[in-house]
Chain A
Amino acid sequence: MLTLSILLFPILAALLVLAVGGKQAKQIAFAGALVELALSGYAFLNFVPDATSQFSFDYPWIFAGSIRFSAGIDGVSLLLVVLTGLLTPLIILSAFRHTYERPAVFYSLILFMQAALMGVFTARDAFLFYLYFEAALIPIYFLAASWGGENRIAVTFKFFVYTIFGSLFMLVALVYLYFQTSPATGIHSSAITDLYNLKLSATEQTWIFWAFFIAFAIKMPVFPFHTWQPDTYVESPTPATMLLAGIMLKMGVYGVIRLLLPIVPEGVDRWGTTAIVLSVIGIVYGALIAIRQRDIKRLIAYSSFSHVGLMAAGVFSQTSYGIQGALVQMLAHGINVVGMFFVADIIASRTNTRLLDQMGGITRYTPKLTVFFMILLLGSVALPLTNGFVGEFLLLAGVFEHNNILGGVAGLTIIFGAVYMLRLFQKAMFGKTTDLTTGFNDVSGSESWVFIPLCFMVFWIGLVPNSFLKLTEPAVTNLLQFIK
C-alpha cells in the first residue's frame, strides 16, 4: 500500500495545485513534495534488506489480469525512489526564486513528473514500466518547451521525438516477450519476473538486447545517442533540467538493470562489451568536450553525459561492483548534478550571463555559495569521503574487472573531471571580478535550504555508503546469481 500511496499522492497533489492555483501553487506543491519525501523516507527506513519486493501491491488490470497494475520497492528501486522523493521538493524549492508564468501548471507538471518517475522505478509489470517510462516524457516536455529558453521549441521537440523513437523499440521487444510467456496455456503475463524466466534463443537475445539498448541508451544518453541532451539541458528552465539530469536519465540506467540484464543475459554476454565500449567512448568524449565549454549549463550537461557513461559501463560490466556502484552513483550523481545546476542557475540569473569568460571573482562576495559549490564540486570530481567517490570507485572497479583496458580508459574521467570542474570553479569564482559579477549577492535563506540537504547527502553517502549499499546488496547479489 505504501507504494500505491507513493504513486498516487503526487497526482493528487498536482490536481490540488491545479485546483487552487495562483500564488499558493508553489507552497502547496512544496508541501506535497515534502509529504512524498516522508513517504519515500518511510520506505527507506522500513526497508528490509533482502531481495524481495516490498510494500508492494498487485491488481489485475488488462486482458483478464495478464497485464497487472503491480508495483513494489526492492533493493534496485529503493535508492531511486529515495532520490526522486528527495530531489523533487528541493527542485521545487529551488524554483521559488523565479516567478514563472502560470505557476499552477508549472508546479503541477513537476508533481506529475514525480509521479511518473516513481512509477518507472517501482513498476513490477513490464507494460506498466513502459507506460510510466513514456508518460514521464509528457510533463517534462511541456515544462521544457513552455518555460525554456529562446530556442526551446525546436530543441525540445527533437528531444521528445528522439527519445520516444527509442522507447518504441522497447515496446516492440516487450510485446514480443509478452507473447513468449506461457505459450502453452495462451495466457500471457507481463510481470517482469516472468519475463526473466523466458528461455530465448541467441538470435532473439541479440535482437531484444539492441531494442532495449537503444531505448535506454537514448534516455541516458550513451554515445552516440546523446546529441539531444546538451541542447535540451541548456534550453530547459533549470527545474526541468534538474529533473532531466537528476532523475530522468536514471530511468535508462535503471531500465538496464531491471530489464535488460536479467531478460537477455546471453545478449549481454555477447554485446555487453560493445555497449561498454560505447559508454567509455562517451565518458572520454563528453569529458573532453566539457573542458572547453564556455556556457556553464552546457558544461555541466556534458559532464553529466560523461558521468552517466560510466554508470552504463559499470552496469554492463555485470559485476557486483559495477551494479552496486551504479546504484549508489545514480543517487550521488542526482544530488550533485541538481546542486551544480542550481549553482549555475544562481550565477546565471544574478549575472545575466551563462558564459564563463564574463564571470570571475564571485567568491569575494559569497562565502556561503563558495562552500556549497565547492562541496558539490568535490562530490562531482569524486573526491574520497564525498558521495561521488563511492560510486565512481565501484563503477571503475567493475569496469576494470570486466576489462582492464576499458577500465583504464574509463578512469580518465577522474582526470578530465578534475580539469573541467576546476576550470568551471576557477572561472566563475576566482580571479578578478567583472562588471557582471561585482556586488554579487550571496545565497539567501531559501536557497541555502536547497543546498544544505544536498551537501548533507554528499557527506552522508561519502562517509557511510554502507547505509545505502547494504540495502541494495541482496537484490544485486540475487540479480547476478540469476544472470550467471
Chain B
Amino acid sequence: MQTDLLILLIPLLPLIGFIINGIGFRKVPTGLVGIIAAAGPLAAFACVLLVFDGFTTISELGKTAPVRTVLFDWITVGHFNIPFSFQIDQLSLIMLLIVTGVGSLIHIYSIGYMKHDDGYGKFMAFLNLFLFFMLLLVMGSNYVVMFIGWEGVGLCSYLLIGFWNKNTSYNNAARKAFVMNRIGDLGFLLGIFMIMGAFGSVEYVDVFEQAAGFPIGDPTVVAITMLLFVGAMGKSAQIPLYTWLPDAMAGPTPVSALIHAATMVTAGIYMVVRSNVLYTLSPITLEIMGGIAIATALLAASIGLVQNDIKKVLAYSTVSQLGYMFLGLSVMGYTSGMFHVMTHAFFKALLFLGAGSVIHAMADEQDIRKMGGLRKYLPITYWTFLIATIAISGIPPFAGFFSKDEILMHVYEHNKLLWVLGVIGSAMTSFYMFRLLFLTFFGRFRGTEHTREHLHESPASMTIPLLVLAVLSVIGGFFNVPEALGGSASLAEFLDPIFELSRKVSPHSFDETLLTHSEEFMLMGISSGVAILALVVAYVMYIQRVNLPEADTVERPVVEKVLYNKYYIDELYENIIVKPTRGLSDAFYSFGEFIIDGVVNGTGWAVKQTSGQLRRLQTGSIGFYVFAMVASIAVILWLRFFIKL
C-alpha cells in the first residue's frame, strides 16, 4: 500500500502546486510562488527515488513484473473498461527519473529566470501542470491514460509557447504547435481505436500479451504501429510534422529546455519503446520509421548549420537528435533510443538553460551575430555550455558519445547506408554546435555598448541547475558503457524485462551483436573522428578566419539560401495545406452554403412561383370559370369511362 501511495503522490504533487499557484495567481506572494512550484517536482523526484529503490529491491528477488495501481474505473462501456491506472516498470522508472529530475532542475532555474515577469505565478503553475501531464503520460498503464498526458502536455506546450500572449506571432507559434500535435494525436487516437478493436483492451499488459501471439507482419499490427507512429511524429517533431518545434522557441527558455527538448518531445520515443512488441511485429513500420528518422536528422541538422538565432540552432538540433533516437528504434535498438533520450535530456536541457542564461545576460537578444566573447562575462555558463556541446557532438567520453555511438552501431549492423548518413549527420551536429559555441563565447563582443554593461553571470538559482546538468552530461554515458569498452551496459540490463515479449516474437533481432570488438572500435573511432574533424572546421572558420554569418539582407549562395530559409518547408505547407484549407473554407462558406441554402430557398421560391402562376387562373371572368368547369367535367367523364386503368 505504501508503494501505491507513493506512486499516486508522484503526479499529484505537481498538480497541487499548479492548483495553489494557478488559483492563487497574483495572490500568492512572489517569494512563495517559486518555493511552492519547485517543491512539487522535488518531492515527486524524491517519491520516484523511493519507488525506484523499492522496485529494484523487488526485482532483485526476480520479480521484474510491472507494478500496477488502479485508481478508479474511468470509462466503462459494456465489457470494455478503461481504468485510470498507473504502471511502474523499468521503462516508466527511467522516464520518471528524467522527467522529475530534469524537471526539478528546470523549475529551480525558472525561479531565477522568470521572477521579474508579470506572469511569474502563472508561468510556474503551467510548468507544474505540464509536469503533471507528463507524469501521467509516462505512468499510465494503458494507452488512453497515456493519451491524457499526451494531449495534456500539448496543451501546456500551447499555453507556454504563447505565454507572452500580446505578441501575435508567439500566439501563432503556439497554435501551430497545438494543431500539428493534434494531427499526430489523431493518428494516435485512431491507433488506440484499432487496438481496442483488435485486442478488446487498451491496457499494456493485456495488449502486449495478446500481441505476442500475432505473426510478424500482421496487417492489423502494421496499421496500429503506423498510426501510433503518426502520433509520435507529431509529438516528437519528425518529418513532416516537425515545423512547429523551431517555432515553439517563442516560449520562455525554460519551457524550451523542459518541454521542447528534455521531456515532452521524447514522448514519441517513449511510446514506441513502450509498444516495442507491436513494432517488432511490424518490420515495415520500422523501415519507414528509419527512413523518416534519418531524413529528419539530416534535414534538421543541415538547417541548423546556418541558423543565427541561438535557440533556433538548438531547436533544429533537437529535431535532429530526435531523428537519431527514432533511427535507433527503427533498427530495434530500443535501449539505445532510450539511452539517447536520457543523455539528450541532460545535455540539451543544459544547452537551453545555458542559452537562457546568455539571453538573460544579453537582455533578451537571441542573435548570435550580436554576441561573441561571452566566456569572460559568463564563466559558469560558458563552461557548462562547452561540456554540453562536447557531449552532444559525440566526442568521448561525454554522455552523447555513448548513446549516439550505440545507435550508430545498431544501425551499422542493420544497414550500412543508413550508418553513413548517420555519421554525416553527426558531423553536422558537431559543426553547428561548435559554430554556435564559438560565435557566442569566443572572439570579441559584437553587441551594443549598452548590452555590454548589462552583461552579468546569472544568479545561483540558474547556475546551480547548470552545474548539476553539466555533471550529468559528463557522466551520463557511463550508465550504459558498451562491453567493448569493458562496461556493463547496466541500462540495457535494467530495461531488459521490457523487451521480453519482443524477444519472444523475434528472437533473432535481439541476438548478441555479431560485431567484433575491433569493428566496434572502428565505428567509434570513425564517429568521434568525424565529430572532431567538424570541430576543427568550425574552429578554422569562425575563430581563425573570424567568419561572421551575414546579415539577413545579404544575398546568399543558392544552397545556403535554401538552408537558411529552412528548405522553404513552411512556405510549402502554407501553400499546399494552409492556403487550400482556407480557400476551401471560404469556398464552402460562400459557395457551398449558397448552393445548399439555394436549394432550400429555391424550393420556397418554386412554391411561390407556382402559386403566382396558379393565381393567374383566377381571372375573374365567369365565362372562363364555366368553361373550366365544363372542361373538367368532360375530362372526368373521359378519364372515367374511356380510359381503362
Interface residues of A (CB under 8 A from B): 158, 161-162, 224, 226-228, 285, 288-289, 291-293, 320-321, 324, 361, 363-364, 367, 378, 383-385, 389-390, 393-394, 396-397, 400-401, 404, 407-408, 411-412, 414-415, 418-419, 422-423, 426, 429-432, 464-466, 469-470, 473, 477
A323–chain B nearest beta-carbon distance, Å:
9
Kindly list chain B residues whose C-beta atoms are within 8 Å of the C-beta of A385: 148, 152
A103–chain B nearest beta-carbon distance, Å:
34
A-B contact pairs, 25 of them (CB 8 A): A158-B600, A161-B604, A162-B600, A226-B596, A227-B597, A285-B588, A288-B581, A289-B588, A292-B585, A293-B589, A320-B77, A363-B165, A383-B151, A383-B155, A385-B152, A389-B151, A396-B193, A400-B193, A408-B190, A415-B182, A422-B178, A426-B165, A431-B168, A432-B168, A477-B78
Give a binary string over B571-596; 1 marks a CB under 8 Å from any A CB, 0 the rest: 00000000001101110110011001
Are the C-beta atoms of A469 and B76 separated by less than 8 Å? yes
Asked whether A291 and B166 contact (CB < 8 A) given A227-B600, A407-B190, A418-B182, the answer is no
Kindly list chain A residues whose C-beta atoms are within 8 Å of the C-beta of B148: 384-385
Kindly list chain B residues whose C-beta atoms are within 8 Å of the C-beta of A469: 75-77
* Residues 127-173 of B contacting A (Cβ, < 8 Å): 144, 147-148, 151-152, 155, 158, 162, 165-166, 168, 171-172
Asked whether A285 and B592 contact (CB < 8 A) given A397-B196, A431-B168, the answer is yes
B357–chain A nearest beta-carbon distance, Å:
28
Asked whether A383 and B152 contact (CB < 8 A) given A407-B190, A432-B166, A470-B76, the answer is yes
B243–chain A nearest beta-carbon distance, Å:
15
Residue B20, interface by CB 8 Å: no
Residue B73, interface by CB 8 Å: yes
Residue B424, interface by CB 8 Å: no
Kindly list chain A residues whose C-beta atoms are within 8 Å of the C-beta of B568: none
In this complex, the interface size class of chain B, counting residues with CB under 8 Å from chain A, is: 35 or more
Asked whether A423 and B152 contact (CB < 8 A) given A227-B593, A227-B597, A401-B193, the answer is no
Give a binary string over B158-202; 1 marks a CB under 8 Å from any A CB, 0 the rest: 100010011010011001001100110110011001101100000
Kindly list chain A residues whose C-beta atoms are within 8 Å of the C-beta of B175: 419, 422-423, 426
Of the candidates B76, B185, B190, the one whose C-beta lies within 8 Å of that of A400 is B190
> With A and B bound together, what is the CA distance between A321 and B604 in angstroms?
40
Are the C-beta atoms of A465 and B75 separated by less than 8 Å? yes
> With A and B bound together, what is the CA distance between A429 and B165 in angstroms?
9
Are the C-beta atoms of B179 and A422 separated by less than 8 Å? yes
Are the C-beta atoms of B179 and A291 separated by less than 8 Å? no
Residue B214, interface by CB 8 Å: no
* Chain A to chain B: the 6 pairs with minimum beta-carbon distance, closest first: A384-B148, A227-B597, A430-B165, A400-B193, A292-B585, A320-B78
Asked whether A415 and B77 contact (CB < 8 A) given A289-B588, A401-B193, A422-B175, the answer is no
A296–chain B nearest beta-carbon distance, Å:
15
Asked whether A411 and B77 contact (CB < 8 A) given A285-B592, A432-B166, the answer is no
B128–chain A nearest beta-carbon distance, Å:
15
List 8 extra interface pairs beyond A224-B596, A292-B589, A363-B165, CB under 8 A: A227-B593, A288-B581, A384-B144, A393-B144, A426-B175, A430-B168, A466-B72, A469-B76
Most chain-A CB neighbours within 10 Å: which of B168, B582, B599? B168
Kindly list chain B residues whose C-beta atoms are within 8 Å of the C-beta of A161: 604
A393–chain B nearest beta-carbon distance, Å:
7
Kindly list chain B residues whose C-beta atoms are within 8 Å of the C-beta of A324: 77
Are the C-beta atoms of A430 and B185 separated by less than 8 Å? no
Closest Cβ neighbor of A230 among chain B residues: B593
B141–chain A nearest beta-carbon distance, Å:
15
Are the C-beta atoms of A411 and B588 separated by less than 8 Å? no
> With A and B bound together, what is the CA distance between A228 and B597 in angstroms?
8
Kindly list chain A residues whose C-beta atoms are within 8 Å of the C-beta of B182: 414-415, 418
A424–chain B nearest beta-carbon distance, Å:
11
B545–chain A nearest beta-carbon distance, Å:
44
Closest Cβ neighbor of A371 among chain B residues: B22
Are the C-beta atoms of A288 and B596 separated by less than 8 Å? no
Residue B561, interface by CB 8 Å: no
> With A and B bound together, what is the CA distance between A1 and B182 in angstroms?
48
Of the candidates A162, A412, A464, the one whose C-beta lies within 8 Å of that of B186 is A412
Asked whether A289 and B589 contact (CB < 8 A) given A385-B148, A397-B196, A422-B175, the answer is yes
Are the C-beta atoms of A466 and B73 separated by less than 8 Å? yes
Kindly list chain A residues whose C-beta atoms are within 8 Å of the C-beta of B416: none
> With A and B bound together, what is the CA distance between A82 and B78 in angstroms?
22
> With A and B bound together, what is the CA distance between A289 and B172 in angstroms?
20
Asked whether A397 and B193 contact (CB < 8 A) given A291-B582, A415-B179, the answer is yes
> With A and B bound together, what is the CA distance between A431 and B166 in angstroms?
4
Are the C-beta atoms of A288 and B588 separated by less than 8 Å? yes
Kindly list chain B residues whose C-beta atoms are within 8 Å of the C-beta of A415: 179, 182-183, 186
Kindly list chain A residues whose C-beta atoms are within 8 Å of the C-beta of B147: 384
Kindly list chain A residues whose C-beta atoms are within 8 Å of the C-beta of B193: 396-397, 400-401, 407
Closest Cβ neighbor of A408 among chain B residues: B190
Closest Cβ neighbor of A399 among chain B residues: B193
Are the C-beta atoms of B600 and A426 separated by less than 8 Å? no
Are the C-beta atoms of B189 and A414 separated by less than 8 Å? yes
> With A and B bound together, what is the CA distance between A390 and B77 in angstroms?
11
A358–chain B nearest beta-carbon distance, Å:
15
Of the candidates A378, A390, A401, A477, the one whose C-beta lies within 8 Å of that of B155 is A378
> With A and B bound together, what is the CA distance between A291 and B179 in angstroms?
13
Asked whether A393 and B189 contact (CB < 8 A) given A289-B585, A291-B582, the answer is yes
Are the C-beta atoms of A394 and B582 separated by less than 8 Å? no
Kindly list chain B residues whose C-beta atoms are within 8 Å of the C-beta of A394: 75, 77
Kindly list chain A residues whose C-beta atoms are within 8 Å of the C-beta of B186: 408, 411-412, 414-415
> With A and B bound together, what is the CA distance between A61 and B183 in angstroms?
55
Are the C-beta atoms of B585 and A430 separated by less than 8 Å? no
Asked whether A414 and B589 contact (CB < 8 A) given A378-B155, A422-B178, the answer is no
> With A and B bound together, what is the CA distance between A361 and B151 in angstroms?
26
Are the C-beta atoms of A291 and B581 separated by less than 8 Å? yes
B581–chain A nearest beta-carbon distance, Å:
7
Kindly list chain B residues whose C-beta atoms are within 8 Å of the C-beta of A396: 189, 193
Residue B74, interface by CB 8 Å: yes
Closest Cβ neighbor of A361 among chain B residues: B166
Residue B25, interface by CB 8 Å: yes
Residue B26, interface by CB 8 Å: yes
Closest Cβ neighbor of B122 among chain A residues: A367
A423–chain B nearest beta-carbon distance, Å:
7
Most chain-B CB neighbours within 10 Å: which of A324, A397, A408? A397
> With A and B bound together, what is the CA distance between A128 and B9 in angstroms?
54
Are the C-beta atoms of B166 and A473 separated by less than 8 Å? no
Are the C-beta atoms of B586 and A430 separated by less than 8 Å? no
Kindly list chain B residues whose C-beta atoms are within 8 Å of the C-beta of A162: 600
Asked whether A390 and B600 contact (CB < 8 A) given A288-B585, A396-B193, A415-B182, the answer is no
Of the candidates B75, B197, B586, B604, the one whose C-beta lies within 8 Å of that of A393 is B75
Closest Cβ neighbor of A223 among chain B residues: B596
> With A and B bound together, what is the CA distance between A71 and B581 in angstroms?
48
A95–chain B nearest beta-carbon distance, Å:
29
> With A and B bound together, what is the CA distance between A430 and B250 in angstroms?
15
Kindly list chain A residues whose C-beta atoms are within 8 Å of the C-beta of B586: 292
> With A and B bound together, what is the CA distance between A228 and B593 in angstroms?
10
> With A and B bound together, what is the CA distance between A385 and B15 in angstroms?
14
> With A and B bound together, what is the CA distance between A226 and B78 in angstroms?
33
> With A and B bound together, what is the CA distance between A466 and B172 in angstroms?
37
Kindly list chain A residues whose C-beta atoms are within 8 Å of the C-beta of B144: 384, 393
Are the C-beta atoms of B75 and A390 separated by less than 8 Å? yes
> With A and B bound together, what is the CA distance between A430 and B173 in angstroms?
13
Kindly list chain B residues whose C-beta atoms are within 8 Å of the C-beta of A390: 75
Most chain-B CB neighbours within 10 Å: which of A158, A162, A289? A289
Closest Cβ neighbor of B175 among chain A residues: A422
> With A and B bound together, what is the CA distance between A363 and B77 in angstroms?
39
Kindly list chain B residues whose C-beta atoms are within 8 Å of the C-beta of A430: 162, 165-166, 168, 171
Are the C-beta atoms of B190 and A418 separated by less than 8 Å? no
Closest Cβ neighbor of A401 among chain B residues: B197
B181–chain A nearest beta-carbon distance, Å:
9
Closest Cβ neighbor of A426 among chain B residues: B171
* Residues 64-89 of B contacting A (Cβ, < 8 Å): 72-78, 80
